[in-house]
Amino acid sequence: MRHPSRVVRALFTLLLTFPVAPALAAQEEPPSPDGPGRQPAWSVEVTPFVGAFVPLAELFEFSATGIIPGTVVPAEVTLVGKQKSSLAMGGRVSGWFNARLGVEGTFTYAFSDLDVTRTRRATTVTLTDERTVGANVWTAAVRVLYRLAAIDRSAVVLLGAGPVIVSRGGDAFDAPAFDFPSTGSVSGTTDLGGVIDLGVRIDASSRVAIRLDAEAYMYSASLSFADPVFAGEVLTSNSKFQTDLVLSAGLAIGL
List, for residues 17-51, the tens digit of each pLDDT value. Answer: 444 334 334 444 444 433 334 454 568 999 999 99
Per-residue confidence band for 70, with pLDDT thresholds at 50, 70 and 90: low
Identity at 166, one-letter amino acid code:
V
Residues with Cβ within 8 Å of 127's Cβ and at least 6 positions away in sequence, in order, are: 119, 120
Q: Which fold has domain 35-254?
A: Porin (2.40.160)
pLDDT of residue 201: 93
- What is the rounded distance in angstroms from the CA atom of residue 53 to the CA atom of residue 63? 28
- What is the rounded distance in angstroms from the CA atom of residue 40 to the CA atom of residue 224? 49
Average pLDDT score over residue span 221-230 = 69
pTM above 0.95, yes or no: no
Q: In the chain, what percentage of residues exceed pLDDT 90?
A: 44
Q: In the chain, what percentage of residues exceed pLDDT 70?
A: 72
Residues with Cβ within 8 Å of 12's Cβ and at least 6 positions away in sequence, in order, are: none
Cβ-in-10-Å burial (0-12, 13-18, 19+) of 81 comes to: buried
Break the chain into its structural domains and give their ranges: 35-254
Q: Is the dihedral of CA 61, 64, 67, 73 positive or negative?
A: positive
